[in-house]
């Protein structure tokens, strides 16, 4: 295109525009479409390490709540303000069973039951009327999850197949980001940013191989969607599938992958939930997985993984000076600066935004299903004892003559993804074997 | 009641409710019903010790004002913004008479009269038009009071009988609390919280005797209302009357009382006003009283009493860490965490909230009287030279056989309160004698 | 006037009034009447010294923008949020030509042209649709100026005659003030405040001569308006003309002038723009001029002049403690405390506010002209190579018998101003000669 065909420059005055955020996908309060959708799934609310002997104030989906472990080791998640006169249960006294409001001694069990209303007589009618708002919780491998939806619609707590690996250990972490959840979440269906933000803009921030140009496809999965990234690296073809487990979980492959040796159906390095704290704050909570297979060069740093800390760059504001963040921006700078809530109506999306667009469509579809009274899919384990997922890396040798062209990479990516998607009723070893067989059979 | 009769648990999702505060009792701006009611009484605005040679910015009832002492030692309280062009008189230059705006030299007297309009000629018509907004002030024993109501309705400045005691000395103090005034004020008609918050929740924070269970009654008084708390402690029966002097003053008995020796009509340890700074901030200003009779074990600490400081626990945020405040919450934690303005519509009040409910009804009645054009009662001294009040502690020996039952304690409390209420035209010594006689006569 | 004719005092309750600011003169956002007016002129946006190798976030007229110097040394001023997905270009990577968004590599030239849309193919239709909002900039003697108005209406960049003096050197500075621009600007057409604020209220803050009472006149000028201040100092008569170059520039004479020796058509010590950052913040950016003629006693301090710093008192909050600022308030205290946006409807203006009133009328007239579709005047150089201005100080000997009366001072002021206004098609030396001749001829 010649310069003449382009719009003229210096149009700042004429381009000042205002538009509202897409509330259907971004607002998460009680009663909002997306907030209701989020409330149909188990969500992480805190790390176990945060929960000591004192109550902990937590904030999720626009609600401020009090989380505590009683002296019988049962965990409760209650509405912040005591049903009696409204004092905060963060100042409650943890009891053998439940918690006692400091002000007048109203005593609640972990499910909100009013055990004793302070100085009220035991036969007071108050016991028939009052129950403190409470949510079910489930503590699992260092993370406290809660279900904030309608009492009758609580799904079973899902454990994912990637958690059951014998060759990797987990470490829980959290990262808080001051922007809307969708900006953080959709970044994982935007593989092109890896090339720009994490390689060209800022120097290589992850494995050098991730900076190599790629062929990208997208597919739906039973849990949401995957993107399929295929790259040619030296003698190898590397196919990564990155996964969105709706509404707000993600699995991502080895962050330091260099595609230097063959590997098949190698599972994720991260399982995380981008949890809306409120409309303009997100707390990502999840696990980093560590194991030799995921980290051949020994770049992982488990000691840096924990509360508000992770072992890769660019995830928080405080870790670096403003100047450093300007010189080598990371996900934090790119996402947070999209505004507190990014305004989709002001965007100019192009072909490389296909994954983001698809994820938004899928979320919108589910949100509208729920609003229309239909059920929304929840993770299922098909009797396998864990919910099968679709995240993996496969690196195989390229046996064709010359370098693979784009069509060849696209073919290989699709074949790997198809094998991964179609093997989900098999045990993990069988799935890995199927992908290996496919590669040994076809990559030539 | 069996567990089956109770509401089911885990109802958090179904109990998310929004409601507005009770604006009639909580909003205090100019023109609001409660704000107008407050403006019919003298209110403390600052401690004398705060008023040096420079003007002082003060905030009360939602208005920001400038308080100063001129070079003739007269105190002025003016609207913040100069009537001329709006510069703040906090930057005014204090003069022999009044204050001069820094910007163009407009000179105002303590009553707001425009003495000189800067460079305007002395015969300018501006002098006929302009008077700076000003309020009458009265300085009394270390506290500066102001009257912020209509010019023609200013009541006489009241001095209370408890201030005239020979056996106690006063020390002025202030405490700022970031919540609505009513939360701080109604706490004094909520005697049950003493048992829970100040004894069971946090360990004993005041005299140990205050943690003993009590029989409670409420009565109206000419100044507002009292509560009557009667406890059996060892060989003694202790009856305390705690008083609300409407609209927003309180008198409370000895904070370290242990009921170890008899005493009759012993007067208060605190006289204070819970002054609304604005709708969500309260500044309590008043006097602590010190004397041997009030403090037999020597626990008072006058040195800790002053600007934003008091000699008992749990009144401010800064005095302790968040962890300490969680471990042993005090009034500050219980009150402030009720929300910036507590929402009565979300409460579940029970029998032990009778005093709070009664105080709110009484305030609402007075507020509506004023709004309807009726007059509201103001403190009167009945020609005694001081306004009689109804706060006292009486401890007498229990001479009955066995321990007193609840009915006996209730009877004794009522008799003491009746004597206190009916003796208000007598001099204090005569009132004390009457209570003593009653006890020596009846407590058997 | 006797005290009896004055309004009565203690009227605070009756004078609580609310009123809105004059939005027509004070609001500056895109599409507001005053904002549009401001956008028809070149405005300073930053000091050159602020612009290093990293992008700089600047805020002006309610817009947050990204200013940068590319690796070819061209300066760009772009809308903050990338047209693609909204990430801030403050994290953009500065390129040989223009800047690259960190997130997906969209590359913009300094005029906003989309050079490359990251991974999009070169023939993508996106290039026909997208141009990043951009504004023309002009860097001049240490200050970066921008034109934020409609693309077709950009005026030539004006250089003023006072910048071309051989006997003074310039130093750029900036000062940020947290209040509306008009408060800062109209202060320069309010000569009476100099007497009060800068001499009587706070002690002498500028030259002692500025504290002497003065005769004041106002005149329109081709660029806006001037005020004419004439004082009798010892054997001399001193006539200062202070100038408003609309919409928001000002020139002011020597700040330490003492009128101790004759001088004719001596030019300004400051040329500055009171730039609205937004409705409640102003950034004054301009030059201090230094030279022997302007500073006979050597009181200037060029080292103190720069970013957020100036060599005279009372312009910032941080330079002094609150107590010092109360004891000797300066422009900052007087202006900022007029409220975030001063409320004209609450003012009581008098004869000494004539300059302020006139400036507001003139601004309103121009704002309404523009809103009505008429053109507004812009600075012209009449072929002289620089725009003639009307700021000067003239000190001549008083040769009359006795001291000059007010009428004589008024006559002298008018004659000087007339000569200054009528000589604007002449070169500066000729204008100076004309004023000198006038004084030598007439001042007797």
- Interface probe for B, chosen from C2, C8, C9, C353 (most Cβ of B below 10 Å), is C9
- B65 vs C contacts (CB less than 8 Å): 12
Choose among B1, B42, B32: nearest CA to B248: B42
Which of B102, B123, B151 is facing C13, going by the closest CB pair? B151
The answer to whether residue C3 neighbours chain B at the CB level (below 8 Å) is yes
B108 has pLDDT over 90: yes
A 10 A CB-CB count for C198 gives 26
ipTM for the assembly: 0.96
- Region B420-441 average pLDDT: 95
Burial C398-419 (b: 16+ CB within 10 A, else e): beeeeebeeebbbbbbbbbbeb
The answer to whether residue B45 neighbours chain C at the CB level (below 8 Å) is no
Helices (H) and strands (E) in chain A, counts: 10, 20
Contact B306, B173 (CB under 8 A): yes
- Region C364-391 average pLDDT: 97
* pLDDT value, residue B1: 47
A422 has pLDDT over 70: yes
* pLDDT value, residue A6: 84
| Residue in chain C lying closest to B131 (CA) | C7
C75 has pLDDT over 60: yes
B209-224, pLDDT tens digit by residue?
999 999 999 999 999 9
* pLDDT value, residue C401: 86
* pLDDT value, residue A365: 98
Which of C10, C196, C356 is facing B118, going by the closest CB pair? C196
Q: What is the DSSP secondary-structure string of A11-46?
A: -GGGG-------HHHH--STTSHHHHHHTTSEEEEE
* pLDDT value, residue A1: 47
Choose among A220, A248, A180, A178: nearest CA to A38: A248
Paired strand residues for A113:
A131
Q: Which long-range contacts (CB under 8 A, 24 or more apart) does C212-218 make?
A: C213/B119, C214/C409, C215/C406, C215/C409, C215/C410, C215/C413, C216/C191, C216/C192, C216/C354, C216/C355, C217/C410, C217/C413, C217/C414, C217/C417, C218/C189, C218/C354, C218/C355, C218/C358
What is the crossing angle of helices C406-422 and C428-442, to 10°?
150
- 8 Å CB contact of C86 and A342: yes
The Cα–Cα gap between A55 and C139 comes to 58
- Region A20-48 average pLDDT: 98
The answer to whether residue A386 neighbours chain C at the CB level (below 8 Å) is no
A9 has pLDDT over 90: yes
- Interface probe for B, chosen from A40, A97, A102, A155 (most Cβ of B below 10 Å), is A102
* pLDDT value, residue A444: 42
- Interface probe for C, chosen from B69, B78, B85 (most Cβ of C below 10 Å), is B85
| Residue in chain B lying closest to C345 (CA) | B85
Choose among C259, C265, C268, C258: nearest CA to C290: C268
The token pair at A95 is 């009891």
- C356 vs B contacts (CB less than 8 Å): 85
A333-354, pLDDT tens digit by residue?
999 999 999 999 999 999 999 9
- 8 Å CB contact of C39 and A13: yes
Percentage with pLDDT > 90 across chain C: 93
- Region A275-292 average pLDDT: 97
The answer to whether residue A155 neighbours chain B at the CB level (below 8 Å) is no
- Region B37-60 average pLDDT: 98
Contact B309, B173 (CB under 8 A): yes
* pLDDT value, residue B444: 42
- Region B369-381 average pLDDT: 96
C207-265, pLDDT tens digit by residue?
889 999 999 999 999 999 999 999 999 999 999 999 999 999 999 999 999 999 999 99
- Region A309-324 average pLDDT: 95
Report in angstroms the alpha-carbon separations of C428 from A59, C161, C164, C263. 69, 8, 10, 14
- 8 Å CB contact of C9 and B111: yes
* pLDDT value, residue C99: 98
Helix residue ranges per DSSP H, C180-267: 181-186, 192-195
- Interface probe for C, chosen from B91, B107, B149 (most Cβ of C below 10 Å), is B91
C262-299, pLDDT tens digit by residue?
999 999 999 999 999 999 999 999 999 999 999 988 99
* pLDDT value, residue A119: 95
- A350 vs C contacts (CB less than 8 Å): 84, 117, 120, 124, 126
- Region A275-297 average pLDDT: 96
Contact C241, C231 (CB under 8 A): no
Å from C326 to nearest chain A CA?
36
Q: What is the DSSP secondary-structure string of B68-133?
A: EE-TTS-EEEEESB-TTT--BGGGPEE-SSSEE-TTT-EEE-TT-BEEEETTS-TT-THHHH-B--
Which of C30, C55, C77 is facing A326, going by the closest CB pair? C55
Å from A411 to nearest chain B CA?
48
Window A:267-306, CB contacts with C under 8 Å: none
- 8 Å CB contact of C9 and B149: no
* pLDDT value, residue C363: 98
Q: Where residue C98 falls among pLDDT bands split at 50, 70, 90?
A: very high
B360 has pLDDT over 70: yes
Paired strand residues for A69:
A75
Å from C75 to nearest chain A CA?
13
A166 has pLDDT over 80: yes
Q: Where residue C3 falls among pLDDT bands split at 50, 70, 90?
A: low
- C1 vs B contacts (CB less than 8 Å): 122-123, 127-128
- 8 Å CB contact of C135 and A12: yes
* pLDDT value, residue B440: 85
- Region B312-326 average pLDDT: 95
- Interface probe for A, chosen from C30, C31, C86, C111 (most Cβ of A below 10 Å), is C86
A50 has pLDDT over 70: yes
Choose among A9, A201, A339: nearest CA to C55: A201
- A68 vs B contacts (CB less than 8 Å): none
Window A:7-36, CB contacts with C under 8 Å: 7-16
* pLDDT value, residue B296: 84
The sign of the torsion formed by the CA atoms of C27, C33, C36, C38 equals: negative
B125-169, pLDDT tens digit by residue?
999 999 999 999 999 999 999 999 999 999 999 999 999 999 899
The pTM for the full model equals 0.96
Q: Where residue B255 falls among pLDDT bands split at 50, 70, 90?
A: very high
- 8 Å CB contact of B105 and C329: no
The Cα–Cα gap between C143 and B91 comes to 34
The answer to whether residue B347 neighbours chain A at the CB level (below 8 Å) is yes
- C352 vs B contacts (CB less than 8 Å): 104, 118-120
The answer to whether residue B212 neighbours chain A at the CB level (below 8 Å) is no
The Cα–Cα gap between A130 and B349 comes to 10
A443 has pLDDT over 80: no
Contact C350, B84 (CB under 8 A): yes
Q: Where residue B443 falls among pLDDT bands split at 50, 70, 90?
A: very low
A72-111, pLDDT tens digit by residue?
999 999 999 999 999 999 999 999 999 999 999 999 999 9
Burial class (CB in 10 A: 0-12, 13-18, 19+), C307: middle
- B79 vs C contacts (CB less than 8 Å): 12, 15-16
Å from B290 to nearest chain A CA?
28
Choose among A101, A98, A106: nearest CA to A74: A98
Question: What mean pLDDT is reported for chain A?
Answer: 95
The answer to whether residue B148 neighbours chain C at the CB level (below 8 Å) is yes
| Residue in chain C lying closest to B92 (CA) | C326
Burial B271-300 (b: 16+ CB within 10 A, else e): bbbbbbbbbbbbbbbbbbbbbeebbeeeeb
The Cα–Cα gap between C98 and C77 comes to 10
Choose among B266, B166, B287, B273: nearest CA to B224: B273
* pLDDT value, residue C6: 84
- Region C64-87 average pLDDT: 98
Question: What mean pLDDT is reported for chain B?
Answer: 95
**Residue found by looking up tokens 């309260």 in the block:** B282
């Amino acid at each position: 295109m010649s310069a003449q065909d382009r719009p003229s420059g210096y149009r700042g005055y004429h381009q000042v525009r205002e538009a509202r955020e897409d509330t259907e996908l971004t607002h998460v309060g009680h009663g909002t479409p997306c907030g209701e959708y989020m409330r149909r799934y188990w969500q992480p609310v805190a790390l176990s390490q945060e929960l000591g002997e004192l109550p902990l104030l937590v904030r999720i989906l626009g609600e401020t709540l009090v989380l505590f472990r009683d002296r019988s080791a049962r965990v409760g998640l209650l509405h912040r303000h005591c049903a009696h006169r409204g004092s905060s249960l963060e100042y409650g006294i943890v009891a053998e069973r439940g918690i006692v409001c400091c002000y007048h001694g109203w005593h609640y069990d972990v499910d909100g039951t009013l055990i004793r209303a302070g100085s009220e007589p035991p036969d007071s009618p108050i016991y028939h009327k009052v129950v403190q708002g409470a949510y079910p919780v489930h503590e699992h491998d260092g993370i406290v999850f809660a279900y904030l939806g309608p009492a009758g619609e609580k799904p079973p707590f899902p454990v994912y197949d990637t958690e059951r690996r014998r060759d990797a250990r987990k470490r829980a972490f959290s990262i808080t980001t001051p922007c809307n959840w969708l900006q953080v979440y959709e970044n994982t269906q935007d593989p092109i940013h890896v090339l720009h933000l994490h390689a060209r803009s800022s120097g290589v921030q992850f494995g050098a191989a991730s900076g190599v140009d790629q062929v990208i496809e997208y597919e739906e999965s039973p849990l949401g969607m995957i993107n399929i990234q295929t790259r040619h690296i030296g003698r190898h073809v590397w196919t990564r599938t990155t996964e969105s487990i709706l509404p707000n979980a993600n699995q991502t492959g080895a962050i330091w992958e260099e595609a230097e040796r063959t590997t098949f159906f190698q599972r994720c390095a991260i399982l995380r939930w981008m949890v809306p704290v409120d409309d303009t704050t997100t707390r990502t909570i999840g696990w980093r997985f560590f194991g030799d297979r995921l980290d051949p060069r020994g770049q992982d740093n488990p000691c840096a993984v924990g509360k508000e800390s992770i072992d890769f760059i660019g995830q928080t504001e405080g870790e670096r000076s403003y100047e450093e963040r300007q010189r080598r921006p990371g996900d934090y700078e790119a996402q947070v600066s999209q505004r507190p809530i990014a305004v989709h109506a002001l965007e100019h999306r192009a072909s490389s935004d296909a994954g983001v667009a698809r994820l938004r469509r899928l979320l919108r579809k589910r949100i509208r299903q729920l609003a229309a009274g239909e059920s929304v899919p929840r993770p299922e384990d098909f009797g396998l004892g864990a919910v099968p997922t679709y995240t993996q890396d496969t690196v195989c040798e390229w046996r064709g003559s010359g370098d693979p062209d784009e069509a060849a990479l696209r073919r290989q990516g699709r074949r790997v993804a198809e094998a991964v998607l179609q093997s989900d009723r098999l045990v993990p070893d069988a799935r890995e074997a199927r992908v290996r067989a496919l590669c040994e059979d076809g990559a030539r």
